[in-house]
Chains A and B, each alone.
Chain A
Amino acid sequence: MREKRMTSKNTLLTIFLFILLSSSFSFAQTIRPFDVGATINARAKLTINSTTITFPDANPGTVPNIAASENPVSVTSSARSNFTVDLTVLASGDLISGSDTIPITNITWTRTGTGYRNGTMNRTTPQLAGRWTGSGSRNGTFSYFLVNSWSYAKGSYTATAIYTLTAP
């Protein structure tokens, strides 16, 4: 009789546990995976806010270095790279006016902005104007100067220089 009572109690206990467990099943959740990817390629973009600069006429005795009228020229070098990013400039030739020339090396520049460099124009060897490591968008300015000399023949001189931003 006692054993029977125990069995009944156990059965009741089982039922209560069952109720308890079944109530806990009312919490449910479903999980689904979702993958996100992004492709980032190496790229370079150079922006110079003035594509032409002009040095006005000046007295060599009072103005030994003529500043370009457009100074300072804003420059932005943007690149995505895992390596060194270089900005170089190469002049296509000297300043020419008819048969007269002024050496392009008489043009120098100073810079502002991290990574940008001061320099002198050259028509044979690309000159480093900026260097950085890795990705980023870098703002700076270049201010150009022409060494003034009494020896220059009068005329309107022109030259072309190419800036190249390399992001390997």
Chain B
Amino acid sequence: MKRKIYLITLLLICFVPSLSFSQSLGLTINPTSIVFPDADPDTTPSISAPSVVIVSVSVSGIPANQTWRLIHRSNGNLQSGTQTIAITNVTWTATPQPPFRNGTMRTTNQTAGSGTGNISVNGNFQYFLRNQWTYRPGNYTASTTFTLSSP
């Protein structure tokens, strides 16, 4: 009996985990920060971030029909002391589409990419800030995250 149990255990260790533990999700962001430069709202109504952000996604070890999702989310508005700029004034365009998507920064989960099965792809994310005269002078910052998950 004991032998049988050991045999079953051995088989399970060999096969069951091999299906799940080999799943691998890779995510790199480069650069890890952007700063929108100051500009005249009349001549530059939308400020482009100085560089394109490369979002590298790699998913391996999942079945062909299993989904993966890239979530982009801000922890809050752009903040400079007590002054704020609504984070929804920040938008992005992404290529290639699919698997990546254009979007607007929010404090709720925004899908920036999704797909099924294994993939290794680089996304080019270009960020924009809607420029308005109503913004108060300051150096504003906001913390955001990219989350890659499956399923």
Q: Which residues of A contact B (CB under 8 A)?
A: 4, 8, 11-12, 15, 18-19, 22-23, 25-43, 45, 78-82, 134-137
Report the count of interface residues on B (CB-CB < 8 A).
Answer: 60
- State how many angstroms separate the Cβ of A24 from the closest Cβ of chain B: 8
Cα distance A18–B16 in the bound complex, in angstroms:
10
Q: In the assembled complex, which residues on chain B have CB atoms less than 8 Å from the CB atom of A45?
A: 40, 42
- State how many angstroms separate the Cβ of A152 from the closest Cβ of chain B: 41
- State how many angstroms separate the Cβ of A46 from the closest Cβ of chain B: 12
Q: Which of A15, A25, A30, A39 contacts B147 (CB 8 A)?
A: A30
- State how many angstroms separate the Cβ of A42 from the closest Cβ of chain B: 5
- Specify the chain A residue showing the minimal Cβ separation from B5: A11
**Do residues B16 and A19 form an inter-chain contact, with CB atoms below 8 A?**
yes
**Do residues B5 and A8 form an inter-chain contact, with CB atoms below 8 A?**
yes
- Specify the chain B residue showing the minimal Cβ separation from A36: B142
- State how many angstroms separate the Cβ of B93 from the closest Cβ of chain A: 15
Q: Which of A27, A37, A80 contacts B133 (CB 8 A)?
A: A80
- Specify the chain A residue showing the minimal Cβ separation from B140: A38
Cα distance A18–B37 in the bound complex, in angstroms:
53
**Do residues A34 and B146 form an inter-chain contact, with CB atoms below 8 A?**
yes
Q: In the assembled complex, which residues on chain A have CB atoms less than 8 Å from the CB atom of B40?
A: 43, 45
- Specify the chain B residue showing the minimal Cβ separation from A22: B17
Whether a CB of chain A sits under 8 angstroms from the CB of B94 is no
**Do residues A134 and B136 form an inter-chain contact, with CB atoms below 8 A?**
yes
Q: Could you write out 29 A-B pairs with CB less than 8 Å apart?
A: A11-B9, A25-B17, A25-B20, A26-B20, A27-B151, A28-B149, A29-B150, A30-B148, A30-B149, A31-B27, A32-B28, A32-B145, A33-B32, A33-B144, A33-B145, A34-B144, A34-B145, A36-B127, A36-B142, A37-B33, A37-B34, A39-B37, A40-B85, A40-B136, A40-B139, A43-B40, A81-B137, A134-B136, A135-B135
